[in-house]
């Protein structure tokens, strides 16, 4: 109790708003202990102290939701942004879970040791676009009420102009954001800020710090990431991995904070600008994916969120499949409308057919797989599904190579069945980049 009074007195003189938050938190803790009466306080000492380095728009809200369930509310530090330096050291040891948009070196400096750390990374250009769209989705009233400077700029300027906006405070949110979070967001050392020409040192520090992190995930491999992270910390894997804080679903769920945003168009100049601004993050991400793929033991990225317009969903031993019967025609699989950079790729789809009705001949086309964008208006690759190449003996993996000359904003994979025979399509569709 004496420590609490001393800490609150320190806070009152340095950060009144934080003092108020801690006072309420401390009051809630004491009320919780009174309600528990003589019952022992449940602890999670088996997990120890855990730090989640939450890089914005990497799918981190999903992982945070999973991890914080393993801690009591009073064990969770309420600081969610880069504000740990404002906390008195006497308060921080009471928390066992830290989750914030802060840097590796800030956590190293302020969080009591020992602790373990986890983070999630995302393809850098996709992360940059997602961050801009998220800020644009915030309502004007929410921005003004909370005086949110960076979202106000995003709301005011088109994407290319936003990326070029000449304000130093915005740079930490538009240029090599992941590299900054894995080193220090703003400071090269205690006296100098990061400057042009510091690329090599910033990247080297970020790569070295990534190697020190206990375990990390990759947003594009979210299901595998959650599995790897839960296995590492020996906690239960959720039955369904939730997708939380997604810009395209926030506005109907929280209309007081979010609104629908318009589709974004990326021209060649903007794409080149994005590549330049994410030059270090791209190196960092590629190194992380290479290492993570070995841990996940998966070949390619799983395209989560595919759907079906015909047939039904069936559990087929270790697979979950979309299945259409003879006479049912249409797109048995489509989606998930992802952003994908220009490059050369292969999409892999598992297909199986049932015994063939009379009249269906070997080599006959019974459907097709294609990759398209622009709401189906631009096809990037197509492959027929033919009897003989797929059969009733078991699932066959079909591989479709395609290339993108420029970034696609709503890429989807589709599998069409003509209805000539029963067809099963595995929902586990994989995408990998070719050299």
**Could you please report the per-residue DSSP string of 73-95?**
GGGB----SS-GGGS-TTTGGG-
pLDDT over 50 at 96, yes or no: yes
How much is the average pLDDT of 159-182? 90
Name which residue leads in pLDDT, 24 or 406: 406
What pLDDT does residue 40 have? 37
pTM beyond 0.95: the answer is no
Pair type for strands 336-340 and 343-353: unpaired
The torsion of the CA quartet 172, 177, 178, 183, rounded to 10 degrees, works out to -20
Distance of alpha carbon 340 from alpha carbon 403, whole angstroms: 11
User: Any bridge partners for residue 385, and if so which?
Assistant: 367
Judged by average pLDDT, the poorest of 166-180, 193-207, 235-249, 407-421 is 235-249
How much is the average pLDDT of 349-374? 88
Q: How confident is the model at residue 138 (pLDDT cuts 50, 70, 90)?
A: very high
What pLDDT does residue 251 have? 58
Token pair of 427 as six digits: 């929902």
What pLDDT does residue 38 have? 33
How much is the average pLDDT of 144-152? 92
pLDDT over 80 at 291, yes or no: yes
- pLDDT tens digits, 246-272: 666 665 667 778 898 887 888 999 999
Q: How confident is the model at residue 22 (pLDDT cuts 50, 70, 90)?
A: very low
Judged by average pLDDT, the poorest of 290-294, 310-314, 360-364 is 290-294
**Beta carbons within 8 Å of 22's beta carbon, 6+ residues apart:** 7, 8, 11, 78, 91
What pLDDT does residue 25 have? 42
Q: How high is the mean pLDDT of the chain?
A: 85
pLDDT over 70 at 430, yes or no: yes
Q: How confident is the model at residue 195 (pLDDT cuts 50, 70, 90)?
A: confident
What pLDDT does residue 296 have? 60
Q: How confident is the model at residue 349 (pLDDT cuts 50, 70, 90)?
A: very high
What does the H/E/C string look like for 338-382? EEECCEEEEEEEEEEECCCCCCCCCCCEEEEEEEEECCCCEEEEE
């Amino acid at each position: 109790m004496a420590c609490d009074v001393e800490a609150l007195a320190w806070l009152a003189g340095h950060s009144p708003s934080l003092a108020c938050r801690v006072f309420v938190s401390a009051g809630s803790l004491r009320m919780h202990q009174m309600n528990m009466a003589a019952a022992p306080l449940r602890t999670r000492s088996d997990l120890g102290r855990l730090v989640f380095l939450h890089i914005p728009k990497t799918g981190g809200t999903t992982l945070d939701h999973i991890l914080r369930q393993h801690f009591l509310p009073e064990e969770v530090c309420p600081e969610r942004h880069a504000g740990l330096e404002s906390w008195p050291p006497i308060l921080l040891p009471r928390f066992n879970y830290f989750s914030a948009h802060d840097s590796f070196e800030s956590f190293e400096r302020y969080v009591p040791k020992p602790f373990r750390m986890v983070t999630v990374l995302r393809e850098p250009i996709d992360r940059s676009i997602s961050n801009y769209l998220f800020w644009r989705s915030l309502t004007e009233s929410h921005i003004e009420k909370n005086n949110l400077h960076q979202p106000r700029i995003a709301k005011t300027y088109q994407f290319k102009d936003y990326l070029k906006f000449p304000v130093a405070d915005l740079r930490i949110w538009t240029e090599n954001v992941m590299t900054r979070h894995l080193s220090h967001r703003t400071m090269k050392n205690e006296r100098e800020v990061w400057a042009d020409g510091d690329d090599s040192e910033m990247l080297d520090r970020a790569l070295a710090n990534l190697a020190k992190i206990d375990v990390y995930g990759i947003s594009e491999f979210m299901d595998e990431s959650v599995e790897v992270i839960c296995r590492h910390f020996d906690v239960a894997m959720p039955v369904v991995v939730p997708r939380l804080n997604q810009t395209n679903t926030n506005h109907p769920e929280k209309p007081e904070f979010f609104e629908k945003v318009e589709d974004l168009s990326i021209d060649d100049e903007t794409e080149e600008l994005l590549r330049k601004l994410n030059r270090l993050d791209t190196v960092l991400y590629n190194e992380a994916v290479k290492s993570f793929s070995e841990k996940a033991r998966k070949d390619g990225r799983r395209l989560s969120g595919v759907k079906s317009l015909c047939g039904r969903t069936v559990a087929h031993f270790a697979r979950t499949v979309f299945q259409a019967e003879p006479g049912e025609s249409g797109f048995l699989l489509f989606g998930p409308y992802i952003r994908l950079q220009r490059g050369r790729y292969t999409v892999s789809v598992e297909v199986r057919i049932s015994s063939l009705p009379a009249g269906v001949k070997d080599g006959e086309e019974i459907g097709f797989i294609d990759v398209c964008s622009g709401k189906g208006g631009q096809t990037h690759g197509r492959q027929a599904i033919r009897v003989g190449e797929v059969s009733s003996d078991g699932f066959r993996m079909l591989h479709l190579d395609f290339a993108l000359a420029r970034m696609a904003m709503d890429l989807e994979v589709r599998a069409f069945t003509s209805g000539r025979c029963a067809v099963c399509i595995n929902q586990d569709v994989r995408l990998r980049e070719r050299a």
